Amino acid sequence: LAVKDPTAVERANLLNMAKLSIKGLIESALSFGRTLDSDYPPLQQFFVVMEHCLKHGLKVRKSFLSYNKTIWGPLELVEKLYPEAEEIAASVRDLPGLKTPLGRARAWLRLALMQKKMADYLRCLIIQRDLLSEFYEYHALMMEEEGAVIVGLLVGLNVIDANLCVKGEDLDSQVGVIDFSMYLKSDDDIGGKERNVQIAAILDQKNYVEELNRQLNSTVSSLHARVDSLEKSNTKLIEELAIAKNNIIKLQEENHQLRSENTLILMKTQHHLEATKVDVEAELQTYKHSRQGLDEMYNEARRQLREESQLRQDMENELVVQVSMKHEIELAMKLLEKDIHEKQDTLIGLRQQLDEVKAINMEMYQKLQVSEDAMKEKNEIIGRLEDKTNQINATMKQLEQRLQQAEKAQMEAEAEDEKLKQEYVNKSESLQKEFSQKEKQLLQLETDLKIEKEWRQTLEDDLQKEKETVSHLRIETQEIINLKKVNSAEKNKQLKRICQDQEAALQELASKLSESKLKIEDIKEANKALQGQVWLKDKEATHCKLCEKEFSLSKRKHHCRNCGEIFCNACSDNELPLPSSPKPVRVCDSCHAILIQRCSSNVP
């Protein structure tokens, strides 16, 4: 016969005794029907059996005076593994009547039973076998499978309600002896099987209810965590909204500041011009009173001024004609922009329909990927538009610098005026020439200011248009993301036909839009060309380009603003009627642009 391992026999006997004691305790407690006291015999036997189970395979530890072999060491580890066991360990250490480690271990077992967590505490010990190996031998019950079985049996003790008084008992000197007479079968036990079945059903129901309570507690904790996360996200969103509002307010304040600065600059320039005019009139009056002998020269100068004022009126009339032409160009631009906006609206409607068709068809999934690529390109376009806005801001700064330079030029002109006052007493003819030069400079400064104002207005319009395009692109991206979630496959054939028709319509509209954009760019280039031309000096322009004859009183000069050429009256006979001007306008023979009349070199 094969010899059995004595440690295995001991483990089996202890396991059987634990089963009998736990089963007898549960049955007697349910039949008793009240909370159990410390004097209840089955409960005392249960603690004795648990002591024997925990003592099995304990290592002997050397102390200063003798050898130690107690179960308080492994039970004290539970405090580190399971945080909820700290209260039990602290209360056991604070008990005044306990002097030995065995008494502390017995008190710990009683408190764990009252808390209904003995199974949980011992399960933590069994899992950490590396730590248990310091206290138990490798063949001990707590190191083998029998320990896990006993922990599973201890779960059933959660049914029992115990009220144990640990403070007054003498737990140090108790003798742990198992009473086997309690577990012997009798005739009454055979007849009580039905009762045991009922008791088992009750226990199962109670365990089920406790597990439901644990699950509900876990769900409640998870819901609290979700509520906390949602509150944090809400606070973050509120902070982001406040930051966005503050940024909008700052931008509005900057816009108001820029507008106020522009108005101040305009007022300053007007004041400077009025001051220069007042100074010139004062100089003329002083010249009348101081020099009476130069009346004839003054009359001649006055006549020349009248002629020059007439020429200036002619120039102003021509400027009015040009302004009317610009207004007509602007109206045409606005009409083109309205057409473009209407076409863009139609394009947006068609794109929405296309996006709906693409979301409905499962087979058009590849086209959805193409739309995602388009989204990336639009994001890149948005980045480019932001770069353009930065460039526009830079150009605005350059324009402001130009305005400052213009003011400096006016200051220099005023300084030259003061010098001319001193020289005017000696030489009246030089003063007349310098006066005419100053008027030309003022005219140039006024034209430069007008051009810069128009540039600023055009740049602001471009900024608004780019912002609108950015908002449209963002709206389209949100619509694409929302339409991805829609999916229905009932009208595939009809939708495919509609999709093909709409794509053809989109291609036609895109071609028309490209043509309109090219026209707009041509008009802008023409305006830039008109603004960038410079007249030749009177000394350089002495002959007509076509007939090569000298200019005189009969042959006036006519200047083309587009190509820069100069013609005489005889060579520039081409005239065109305009709705904005009462008289027909002369036109250049080479580029068909409007000619401007200039005084000849022989006439002052």
3-state secondary structure 161-172: CECCCCCCCCCC
- Residue 136 in 3-state DSSP? strand
The confidence score (pLDDT) of residue 519 equals: 79
CA dihedral 283, 289, 290, 292 (to 10 degrees): 120
Residue 601 and residue 556 in contact, taking contact as beta carbons nearer than 8 Å:
no
Q: According to the model, what pLDDT value does residue 123 have?
A: 92
Confirm if 546 and 571 have CB atoms less than 8 A apart.
Answer: yes
Is the Cβ–Cβ distance between 76 and 88 less than 8 Å? no
Q: Three-class SS of residue 327?
A: helix
- The rounded distance, in Å, linking the Cα atoms of 107 and 141 is 22
550: three-class secondary structure by DSSP: strand
Q: What number of residues does the chain have?
A: 604
Nearest to 148 by CA among 173, 122, 174: 122
The letter for the amino acid at 455 is: W
Task: List domains and CATH numbers for the chain.
Answer: 6-183 (1.20.58.900), 543-603 (3.30.40.10)
Residues of the chain predicted below pLDDT 70: 1-3, 33-34, 61-69, 183-197, 199-200, 203, 287-288, 290-294, 361, 364, 368, 417, 420-421, 424-428, 430-431, 484-492, 526-539, 553-565, 567, 572-604
Query: How far, in Å, CA of 248 to CA of 234, rounded?
Result: 21
Rounded to whole angstroms, how far apart are CA atoms 226 and 224?
A: 5
pLDDT for 396 equals 79
Task: Give me the amino acid identity at 96.
Answer: P
User: CB count, 10 Å around CB of 124?
Assistant: 16
User: Which DSSP state fits 558?
Assistant: E
Tell how strand 595-598 and strand 585-586 pair up. Answer: unpaired
Other Cβ atoms within 10 Å of 106 Cβ, number = 25
Phi–psi pair at 543, nearest 5 degrees: -125, 150
Residue 459 corresponds to which tokens in the numbers above? Answer: 């740049």
**DSSP state, residue 363:** T
Could you tell me which of 577, 580, 378 has the C-alpha nearest to residue 474? 378
Q: How far is CA 190 from CA 187, 469, 557, in A?
A: 5, 91, 139
Distance CA 44, CA 181 (A): 14
Residue 92: partners with Cβ closer than 8 Å, 6 or more residues away: 98, 104, 107, 108, 111
Reading the block at residue 413, the tokens are 């002109």
In this structure, what is the dihedral angle of CA atoms 37, 39, 43, 45, given to the nearest 10 degrees?
A: 170
SS (HEC) of 40-85: CHHHHHHHHHHHHHHHCCECCEECCCCEECCCHHHHHHHHHHCHHH
pTM, two decimal places:
0.35
Do residues 95 and 172 make contact, with C-beta atoms less than 8 angstroms apart? no
- What is the identity of the amino acid at 54? L
Helix (H) or strand (E) holding 269: helix 193-290
- Amino acid found at 411: M
Question: How high is the pLDDT of residue 206?
Answer: 73
Q: What is the pLDDT of residue 254?
A: 86
Instruction: Let me know how many helices (H) and strands (E) the chain has, helices first.
Output: 14, 7
Residue recorded with tokens 């028309």 = 512
Whole-angstrom distance, CA of residue 499 vs CA of residue 47: 83
**pLDDT (0 to 100) of residue 486:** 63
Spatial separation of the C-alpha atoms in residues 159 and 442, rounded to whole Å: 106
Q: What is the CA radius of gyration of the chain?
A: 53
What whole-number distance in Å separates Cα of residue 103 and Cα of residue 215? 36
E strands in 482-583: 557-560, 566-567, 575-576
Distance CA 133, CA 123 (A): 15
Measure Cα distances from 574 to 241, 317, 491, 560, 570 in Å. Answer: 65, 20, 65, 13, 10
DSSP element (H, E) containing 312: helix 295-360
Give the closest residue to 467 by CA, choosing from 397, 385, 533, 363. 385
